[in-house]
Amino acid sequence: MRLSDEQLQQFRQDGFIHIKQFAPTEQCDAILDVAKAHLKGKIEPLETEIGYQERSKEYRTHVKDYTSMSEEPCVIVRRLRQVYNRDILFKEWMEDAEIRPVLQQILGDSVVITTGHHNSIMTKMPHLSQATSWHQDRRYWRYSDDNLVSVWLALDNEHSDNGVLEFIPGSHTMQFTPEQFDDKEYFREDTDQNKLIIAQKVSMNLEKGDIVIFHALLLHRANKNSTDKVKISFVYTVKGAATKALEGSRSAEYPEITLAIIP
């Protein structure tokens, strides 16, 4: 698959693109079955809801241990981390050849999987998950430039009641001041300037098999899950080969997978 010139221009303008029914239902269901088994077993490394909102900028930037380090028996899982090496089904999706020409177009470079960031099964547990505040993913990644995008796969339907993704179109090209973010680098919602920007948000209702590709600087958030069913999604991040992790940073601590160019 390749993007049309119009689609590529849309991505460059908005910072994201929604491609409907990209992954087959059978593939989504198979990934979902494995993800549910890992969630049921609480197989590390995990991120939990415990202390999520309180984590400092320094924690998000420097901590390299992705285990949850929680001894509580009833933890609420926020994501399964480091999924590339968990199961062949996860690995195959992240190396999917069908999507690679699209990523090559967007990046303008060959595609490299970054296992240090995202590389996750994201969960929104029924009634227990927290909303995710407005943020840019790039805020705690350390690279030579910003040529990184994430691929979000809906493993089931996603909507306003179960944790829908929301984006602010074009925010990946906006120039912000430090004062527009709080001390954890979340985009503040209490200033008139930011409120005008947030008013431009769009919600991405997704169906099983839909993907969203979005830029690492795009402001985005997600609702909490107020339904009785867990919401499970898959997200991983790629970069162009010319984009380098900064030595000594968390971004440089994890392996990268360079994928072959598809003509």
How does pLDDT run across 232-259, given as a tens digit for each residue? 999 999 999 999 999 989 899 999 999 9
Average pLDDT over residues 62-72: 56
Least confident of 94-103, 196-205, 207-216, 245-254: 245-254
The residue with greater pLDDT, 28 or 248, is 28
Between CA 245 and CA 251, with CA 250 as vertex, the angle to 5 degrees is 30
Report residue 110 as tokens.
């060959």
Q: Please give the Cα distance from 31 to 233 (Å, whole number).
A: 10
Q: Which amino acid is at 1?
A: M
Count, residues in the chain: 263
Report residue 250 as tokens.
């968390």
Please report, for residues 45, 219, 233, 235, the alpha-carbon distance to residue 60 in angstroms, rounded to integers and kept in the order given.
15, 17, 21, 18
Span between the terminal Cα atoms of the chain, in Å: 11
Please report, for residues 116, 253, 261, the alpha-carbon distance to residue 250 in angstroms, rounded to integers and kept in the order given.
7, 5, 27
Give the pLDDT score at 48.
82
Q: Quick one: CA torsion of 179, 191, 164, 1, rounded to 10 degrees? A: -50
Q: Is the pLDDT of residue 178 over 60?
A: yes
- How many Cβ atoms are within 10 Å of 214's Cβ, its own excluded? 24
Q: Is the pLDDT of residue 217 over 60?
A: yes
Residue with tokens 């221009």: 9
Average pLDDT over residues 162-190: 95
- The full set of domains in the chain, from first to last, is 5-258 (2.60.120.620)
Q: Is the pLDDT of residue 171 over 60?
A: yes
Confidence label for 53 from pLDDT (cuts 50, 70 and 90): low
Rounded percentage of the chain residues whose pLDDT exceeds 70: 90
Q: Where are the alpha helices (DSSP H) in 41-164?
A: 57-62, 88-94, 100-107
How does pLDDT run across 70-90, given as a tens digit for each residue? 555 567 888 999 999 999 999
How does pLDDT run across 130-161, given as a tens digit for each residue? 888 999 999 889 999 999 999 999 999 999 99
Q: Please give the Cα distance from 213 to 104 (Å, whole number).
A: 12
Q: Is the pLDDT of residue 35 over 90?
A: yes
Give the pLDDT score at 127.
85
- How many Cβ atoms are within 10 Å of 121's Cβ, its own excluded? 26
Report residue 236 as tokens.
């991983």
Give the pLDDT score at 57.
53
